[in-house]
Amino acid sequence: MAAKQRKIPAPAATLETQAYWEATAKGKLLVRHCTACGEKHHYPRSICPFCFSDKTEWTEASGKGTLYSFSVMRRAAEPYVMAYVTLAEGPTMMTNIVDCDFDALKVGQAVKVVFVPSEGGAPVPMFTPG
């Protein structure tokens, strides 16, 4: 049984993440790409966390990934799944897994991004099996 979707608070956009949240509103997931070392990272920062270069730019992610780890929050009023998803592009992001049978989730399974409306803010990227 998929649980009822809990309410998602609006994300706080900063100058560093404004473009990221504008993209989620259009159904796109962006990651930050460093042109100095070639690494991609998430959550978006202007300075590359690998080589500390400021030569970073936005790039659109495919929205595909694999479930790296997860934890079902059963004691919440509306149970939900906290998870780390490793994107096909490389970065791992903290997120929620939605629209699925929580008991059937398995580490390593393929997931894809969905954009869940927040309360009065940009949609939040979450993942579902697929």
- Residue whose CB is less far from Zn ion, 51 or 88: 51
Q: Does 36 bind Zn ion (CB under 5 A)?
A: yes
- Please report how close the Cβ of residue 76 comes to Zn ion at its closest, in angstroms: 37
Write down the least CB distance from residue 43 to Zn ion, Å: 15
Tokens of 59: 């790039």
In the sheet with 40-41, reading across from the earlier edge strand, the strands are: 40-41, 30-34, 56-60
Q: Are strands 64-73 and 92-97 parallel, antiparallel or unpaired?
A: unpaired
Number of residues forming the site for Zn ion (CB under 5 A): 7
Residues whose CB is less than 8 angstroms from the CB of residue 56 and which lie 6 or more positions away in sequence, other chains included: 32, 33, 34, 35, 45, 46, 47, 48
Q: Which is nearer to Zn ion, 36 or 110 (CB)?
A: 36
Q: Which one of residues 3, 23, 34, 81 is an interface residue with Zn ion (CB under 5 A)?
A: 34
Region of 117 please: left (phi>0), alpha (psi -120 to 50) or beta.
Answer: beta
| Span near Zn ion by CB under 5 A; candidates 9-17, 23-31, 35-43, 99-107 | 35-43
**Contacts with Zn ion in 37-56 (CB under 5 A)?**
37, 48, 50-51, 53
Element (H, E) at 112: strand 110-116
- For residue 51, the minimal CB distance to Zn ion (Å) is 3
Residues that bind Zn ion (CB under 5 A): 34, 36-37, 48, 50-51, 53
